[in-house]
């Protein structure tokens, strides 16, 4: 028994040892597994959390960029408003003390300075404005028409300041002064973790915004500090990456504290800064990982003694937490996507730059392959910008932030621009376009032409897109007209694929198409009709749709506009010449810059009689574009340019400079009534080759032309024929004088009463030229006296001068008044008893030959007048077209010809 008990005790001790060994082995194995598992888990957890932190910081820095960019844009807006106020004071003739008044209105600015292109004109405020700012890049941006915010710099009083520039007008620029800590005070309000903060550095690495004011005031530059102190090498490397335009993260130590930083360039296009977020790593969740792992190990060790499964459960926790962090990162990514969608209007700025620079690149000399790439870049950028604009428009509409303009507009010009845009795609698909706008004679609607055009373009684009054969029609009719407003009906109709009733119900929903397959087959975002519907409703109308599947669709709406009375367009000067018997004959083409119809007629007639072709530009901007288009299309350049000096939109001096910049080598001759010695000096200094005064004689013109053309031959003229031609031209000019100048005196008085000295000066200048062309010397002198008194931009005209002008103008109008009674509507316009009407084929040929000449604004279209009277179509349209051609009113004439051409197809 005792033996058995001993054996039993020995066995018990052995079992205990075994149990102890098993226990120890289990503990060791469990510990090894736990240590390995926890170590691996800690590594993965740390990396996952670290990656999530960097992602969160990148999202945060994008939001910070939005905040900073908005602050910069707000500063620019306020500066632009201040510039506008200054401009209004200047235009009103007020100069004394206006900067103090404007500065008091915009409290954020501590000083204002007004610069010309050469000097500081005036300044006010607690900080002085230095003349040296004139050469700063941010000021040059403003002189070019943009806006910019400067980096921090020291004022004349050695205070830290910043500047915001904005163009005023006529080469003047405003520099608004901000305290140097302005942005710091703004962005220091934003915190990240406990002590993390935003900072902004400029393109040189100088700190311009930081929570540490001393760094900003000292304009600390870590790039420069790193050159002498290796403690700042890592900070310097991060700053260099930010300056290079990189968006990313970096880790380094500042004052012995490990820190993490996210940075990116700001979105503002004119400030080459970058914004960053910097925070100590010990404030992140990474600092909690060591303690958490230790606690986890202890708990796991205790639980491993009880059960091995406890260890597995504990080991799962890091992965579960990592998965949660990944989900958080995905949510952050979704938030980022939403953020970018809300930033669509910010994306438009670089998109516009892409389109603009690709346009500029295509204007230069490039290889065919490169031009093809640029063309594709331009096309796709425009399409992307269209999508972005649609997204922005729909968001504006839904948020109630879309505003409508209220300005006068020409409905015929609006239709013409729509037709120009839609025509290429319609021609490509073989679709007939029909446009008609019922005229509102003497009245012009007031509204938002840009948004109305957007609606019509959306409707027309859809109509052409979903029509494979047939016709697309844009039609407007006047439903009601009163003294103050007009109600118009708009309709876009097509013969396309049409829609079913079910499809019509959802056609106006955003991001929706009539059916799922349409987007894939026809393309588009489904935003156009939704935007159009909302815009029409904002204008007070309702967009309706009628459609039948397989037959076509019709979209229509009615809008009521306020109206204004429309005065006769300003007519242009002409001149009677060619009173000699011999004249030279030349070969070549001349571009004439001239805004006066009478002058256009006279000069074109002169040039035509000596064999030269003429293209007319109504103002400097149009003429410059004509020259650019010829260069872009590799067409033959003009042999000579005649340049009027006083023109609307863009005057002759500016237009000449633009052409000289193109390096065409085309000689430019000034043709103007202002030929005083000081004027001649200005023309010569601007690079013009010659100057010819108005009015001029045939001999003067021929003498000028001989400098630039070699005569083909000289031909004797028929004196009787030329005299008859001069008499007819003289009669035409007298008639034009009555039409264009019967209200001229009242127009001058009205402009003076409104304070529009520039307009009054131009009207007097035009009247002086008209009178000179017709030999009315006394009236010419009276108009010249008024003009000279307005030349300085101030109204120095006396009552006696105005009375003399009115008296002399009425005398000339009375002398020519018999012409007005005898030129109403000639019988030959209505019937042609002694002439054979043209047959259908000849009439169509005449219209086809006239159309391109009329679109070019070529006065040779006047040679088609006799033929137009004999075409067998609508007499009213023929009379209207002939009158427009005789008045050199080429834009409306193109529209009338299109109507006549369309009606001829229906005959």
Q: What is the dihedral of CA 606, 608, 614, 618, to 10 degrees?
A: 50
- If one counts every other C-beta atom within 10 angstroms of the C-beta of residue 176, the result is 28
* Overall average pLDDT of the 357-374 stretch: 63
The pLDDT of residue 14: 41
Query: Do residues 434 and 470 make contact, with C-beta atoms less than 8 angstroms apart?
Result: no
Query: Do residues 765 and 673 make contact, with C-beta atoms less than 8 angstroms apart?
Result: yes
Q: Which two tokens stand for residue 504?
A: 């019509």
Per the prediction, the chain carries an average pLDDT of: 76
Nearest one of 209, 154, 221 to 184, comparing CA atoms: 209
pLDDT for residue 701 is more than 90: no
Nearest one of 583, 622, 624 to 606, comparing CA atoms: 583
DSSP 860: G
Q: Which two tokens stand for residue 527?
A: 């935003």
Out of 731-740, 745-754, 832-841, the most confident range is 745-754
Give the torsion sign (CA, 444, 448, 452, 457).
positive
pLDDT for residue 386 is more than 90: no
With pLDDT > 70 as the criterion, what percentage of the chain qualifies?
Answer: 71
The pLDDT of residue 127: 85
How far does the chain reach from its first CA to its final CA, in angstroms? 137
DSSP 268: -
The pLDDT of residue 532: 84
Indicate the range of 2-16, 100-114, 255-269 predicted with least confidence: 2-16
Please, which residues bridge with residue 261 across strands?
250, 278
Nearest one of 212, 263, 211, 215 to 61, comparing CA atoms: 263
Question: pLDDT band at 187, cuts 50/70/90?
Answer: confident
Q: What angle do CA 359, 360, 363 make, to 5 degrees?
A: 90
Pairing of strands 588-593, 640-643: parallel
pLDDT for residue 274 is more than 80: yes
Q: Is 638 helix (H, G, I), strand (E, B) or coil?
A: coil
For residue range 313-351, list pLDDT tens digits in order: 455 555 556 566 667 666 654 554 455 445 554 555 456
Question: pLDDT band at 776, cuts 50/70/90?
Answer: confident
Q: Which residue has the higher pLDDT, 676 or 234?
A: 234
Give the torsion sign (CA, 632, 633, 638, 639).
positive
Query: Do residues 294 and 263 make contact, with C-beta atoms less than 8 angstroms apart?
Result: no
Rounded Cα–Cα distance for residues 740 and 875 (Å): 26
20-50: b (≥16 Cβ within 10 Å) or e: eeeeeeeeeebeebbeebbeebbeebbebbb
Q: Which residue has the higher pLDDT, 588 or 907?
A: 588
Q: Give yes or no for a cis peptide into 447 (omega within 30° of 0).
A: no
Q: Which two tokens stand for residue 152?
A: 């921090």
The pLDDT of residue 394: 54
The pLDDT of residue 162: 93
The pLDDT of residue 516: 46
Strand ranges inside 485-551, DSSP E: 485-494, 544-548
* Overall average pLDDT of the 52-66 stretch: 85
Helix (H) or strand (E) holding 122: strand 120-125
For residue range 231-270, list pLDDT tens digits in order: 888 888 989 999 998 999 988 877 778 888 999 999 888 8
pLDDT for residue 649 is more than 80: yes
Q: Which residue has the higher pLDDT, 66 or 332?
A: 66
Question: pLDDT band at 80, cuts 50/70/90?
Answer: very high
Q: Which two tokens stand for residue 544?
A: 């309706």
Query: Do residues 773 and 596 make contact, with C-beta atoms less than 8 angstroms apart?
Result: no
- If one counts every other C-beta atom within 10 angstroms of the C-beta of residue 792, the result is 10
Nearest one of 155, 162, 158, 235 to 199, comparing CA atoms: 235
Helix 757-773 × helix 597-609 angle, to 10°: 40
User: Quick check: pTM over 0.85?
Assistant: no
Indicate the range of 478-492, 606-620, 703-717, 785-799 predicted with least confidence: 703-717
Q: What angle do CA 728, 730, 732 make, to 5 degrees?
A: 70
DSSP 829: G
- If one counts every other C-beta atom within 10 angstroms of the C-beta of residue 446, the result is 18
* Overall average pLDDT of the 378-399 stretch: 58
Nearest one of 751, 753, 755 to 92, comparing CA atoms: 755
Helix 344-363 × helix 308-342 angle, to 10°: 60
Residue bearing tokens 């490990």: 258
* Overall average pLDDT of the 387-406 stretch: 60
Distance of CA 626 to the CA centre of its chain: 20
DSSP 566: -
Q: Which residues are CB-neighbours of 437 under 8 A, at least 6 positions away?
A: 411, 412, 415, 476
Question: pLDDT band at 574, cuts 50/70/90?
Answer: very low
pLDDT for residue 17 is more than 50: no
The pLDDT of residue 572: 30
**Residue 850, φ and ψ in degrees, nearest 5:** -75, -35
Rounded Cα–Cα distance for residues 199 and 202 (Å): 10
The pLDDT of residue 294: 63
pLDDT for residue 173 is more than 90: yes
For residue range 209-228, list pLDDT tens digits in order: 988 889 899 999 989 988 88
Query: Do residues 906 and 867 make contact, with C-beta atoms less than 8 angstroms apart?
Result: no
Q: Which residue has the higher pLDDT, 832 or 454?
A: 454
User: DSSP H helical segments within 774-874, as ranges?
Assistant: 777-790, 799-822, 840-855, 865-868
The pLDDT of residue 490: 93
Q: Which two tokens stand for residue 402?
A: 């879309």
Q: Which residue has the higher pLDDT, 708 or 3?
A: 708
Rounded Cα–Cα distance for residues 698 and 209 (Å): 70
Please, which residues bridge with residue 713 across strands?
585
For residue range 785-808, list pLDDT tens digits in order: 888 888 778 888 888 888 888 888
* Overall average pLDDT of the 509-521 stretch: 50
3-state secondary structure labels for all residues of 364-397 = CCCCHHHHHHHHHHHHHHHHHHHHHHHHHHHHHH
User: DSSP H helical segments within 192-307, as ranges?
Assistant: 213-217, 222-228, 233-243, 289-306
For residue range 145-154, list pLDDT tens digits in order: 999 999 999 9
The pLDDT of residue 357: 53
Q: What angle do CA 892, 495, 437 make, to 5 degrees?
A: 20
Going from the C-alpha of 662 to that of each of 621, 659, 719, 735, 866, the distances in angstroms are 14, 5, 44, 40, 40
Q: Which residues are CB-neighbours of 886 under 8 A, at least 6 positions away?
A: 732, 862, 865
The pLDDT of residue 872: 73
Rounded Cα–Cα distance for residues 68 and 324 (Å): 32
Rounded Cα–Cα distance for residues 446 and 324 (Å): 59
Query: Do residues 829 and 875 make contact, with C-beta atoms less than 8 angstroms apart?
Result: yes
Helix (H) or strand (E) holding 434: strand 432-437
pLDDT for residue 556 is more than 80: yes
Judge residue 289's burial from the number of C-beta atoms within 10 Å of its C-beta, 0-12 exposed, 13-18 middle, 19 or more buried: middle
Q: Is 445 helix (H, G, I), strand (E, B) or coil?
A: strand
The pLDDT of residue 844: 77
Rounded Cα–Cα distance for residues 688 and 133 (Å): 33
Please, which residues bridge with residue 544 across strands?
556
Rounded Cα–Cα distance for residues 499 and 504 (Å): 6
* Overall average pLDDT of the 419-441 stretch: 77
Distance of CA 695 to the CA centre of its chain: 40
Indicate the range of 379-383, 414-418, 635-639 predicted with least confidence: 379-383
How does DSSP assign 125-172, residue by residue? ESS---GGGGGSHHHHHHHTT--EE---EE-TTS-EEEEEEEEEETTE
Query: Do residues 248 and 239 make contact, with C-beta atoms less than 8 angstroms apart?
Result: no
For residue range 610-634, list pLDDT tens digits in order: 888 888 888 889 999 999 998 998 8
The pLDDT of residue 179: 92
């Amino acid at each position: 028994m005792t033996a058995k008990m001993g054996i039993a005790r020995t066995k018990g001790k052995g079992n205990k040892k075994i149990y102890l060994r098993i226990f120890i082995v289990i503990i060791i194995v469990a510990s090894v597994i736990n240590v390995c598992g926890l170590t691996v888990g800690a590594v993965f957890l740390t990396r996952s959390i670290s990656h999530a932190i960097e992602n969160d910081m990148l999202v945060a820095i994008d939001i910070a960029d939005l905040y900073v960019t908005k602050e910069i844009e707000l500063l620019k807006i306020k500066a632009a408003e201040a510039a506008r106020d200054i401009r209004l004071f200047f235009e009103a003739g007020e100069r004394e003390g206006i900067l103090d008044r404007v500065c008091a209105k915009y409290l954020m600015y501590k000083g204002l300075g007004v610069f010309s292109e050469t000097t500081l004109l005036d300044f006010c405020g607690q900080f002085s404005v230095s003349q040296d700012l004139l050469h700063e890049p941010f000021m040059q941006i403003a002189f070019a028409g943009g806006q910019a915010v400067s980096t921090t710099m020291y004022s004349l009083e050695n205070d830290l300041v910043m500047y915001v520039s904005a163009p005023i007008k006529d080469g003047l620029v405003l520099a608004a002064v901000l305290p140097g800590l302005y942005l710091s005070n703004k962005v220091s309000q934003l915190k990240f973790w406990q002590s993390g903060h935003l900072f902004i550095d400029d393109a040189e690495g100088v700190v311009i915004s930081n929570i540490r004011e001393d760094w900003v005031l000292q304009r600390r530059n870590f790039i420069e500090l790193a050159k002498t102190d290796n403690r700042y090498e890592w900070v310097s490397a991060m700053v260099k990456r930010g300056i290079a335009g990189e968006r990313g993260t970096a880790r380094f130590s500042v004052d012995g504290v490990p820190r993490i930083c996210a940075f990116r360039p700001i979105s503002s296009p004119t400030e080459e800064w970058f914004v960053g977020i910097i925070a100590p790593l010990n404030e992140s969740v990474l600092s909690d990982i060591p303690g958490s792992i230790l606690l986890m190990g202890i708990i796991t060790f205790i639980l491993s003694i009880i059960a091995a499964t406890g260890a597995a459960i504990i080991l799962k926790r890091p992965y579960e937490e990592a998965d949660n962090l990944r989900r958080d990162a995905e949510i952050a990514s979704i938030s980022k996507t939403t953020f970018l969608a809300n930033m669509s209007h910010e994306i438009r700025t670089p998109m516009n730059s892409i389109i603009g620079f690709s346009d500029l690149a295509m204007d230069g000399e490039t290889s065919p392959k490169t031009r093809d790439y640029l063309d594709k870049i331009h096309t796709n950028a425009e399409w992307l910008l269209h999508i972005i604009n649609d997204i922005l428009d729909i968001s504006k509409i839904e948020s109630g932030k879309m505003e409508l303009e209220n300005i006068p507009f020409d409905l015929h010009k609006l239709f013409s621009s729509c037709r120009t845009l839609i025509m290429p795609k319609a021609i490509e698909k073989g679709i007939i376009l029909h446009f008609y706008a019922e005229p509102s004679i003497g009245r012009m609607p007031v509204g938002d032409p840009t948004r109305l055009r957007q609606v019509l373009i959306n409707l027309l684009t859809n109509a052409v897109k979903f029509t494979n054969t047939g016709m697309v029609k844009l039609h407007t009719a006047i439903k009601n007209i009163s003294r103050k407003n007009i109600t118009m009906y708009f309709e876009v109709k097509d013969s396309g694929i049409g829609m079913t009733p079910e499809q019509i119900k959802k056609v106006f929903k955003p991001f929706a198409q009539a059916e799922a397959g349409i987007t894939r087959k026809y393309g588009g975002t489904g935003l156009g009709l939704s935007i159009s519907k909302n815009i029409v409703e904002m204008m007070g109308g309702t967009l309706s749709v009628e459609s039948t599947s397989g037959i076509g669709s019709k979209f229509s709406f009615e809008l009521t506009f306020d109206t204004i009375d429309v005065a006769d367009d300003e007519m242009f000067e002409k001149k009677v010449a060619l009173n000699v018997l011999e004249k030279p004959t030349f070969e070549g083409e001349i571009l004439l810059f001239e805004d006066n119809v009478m002058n256009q007629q006279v000069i074109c007639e002169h040039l035509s009689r000596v064999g030269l072709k003429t293209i007319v530009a109504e103002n400097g901007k149009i003429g410059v574009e004509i020259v650019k288009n010829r260069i872009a299309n590799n067409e033959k350049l003009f042999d000579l340019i005649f340049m009027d000096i006083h023109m609307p939109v863009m005057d002759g001096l500016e237009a000449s400079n633009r052409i000289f910049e193109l390096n065409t080598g085309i000689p430019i001759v000034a043709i103007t009534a202002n030929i005083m010695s000081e004027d001649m000096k200005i023309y010569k200094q601007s690079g013009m080759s010659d100057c010819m005064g108005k009015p001029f004689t045939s001999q003067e013109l021929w003498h000028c032309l001989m400098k630039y053309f070699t005569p083909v031959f000289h031909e004797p003229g028929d004196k009787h024929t030329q005299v008859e031609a001069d008499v007819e031209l003289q009669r035409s000019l007298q008639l034009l004088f009555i039409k264009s100048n019967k209200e001229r005196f009242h127009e001058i008085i009205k402009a003076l009463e409104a304070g529009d000295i520039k307009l009054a000066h131009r009207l007097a200048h035009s009247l002086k030229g008209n009178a000179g062309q017709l030999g009315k010397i006394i009236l010419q002198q009276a108009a010249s006296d008024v003009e000279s008194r307005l030349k300085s931009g101030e109204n120095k005209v006396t009552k006696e001068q105005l009375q003399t002008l009115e008296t002399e103008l009425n005398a000339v109008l009375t002398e020519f008044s018999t012409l007005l009674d005898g030129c109403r509507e000639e019988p030959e316009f209505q019937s042609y008893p002694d002439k054979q009407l043209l047959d259908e084929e000849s009439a169509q040929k005449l219209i086809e030959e006239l159309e391109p000449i009329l679109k070019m604004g070529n006065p040779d279209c006047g040679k088609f007048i006799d033929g137009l009277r004999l075409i067998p179509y609508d007499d009213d349209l023929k009379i209207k077209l002939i009158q427009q051609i005789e008045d050199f009113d080429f834009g409306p004439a193109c529209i009338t010809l299109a109507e006549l051409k369309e009606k001829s197809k229906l005959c």
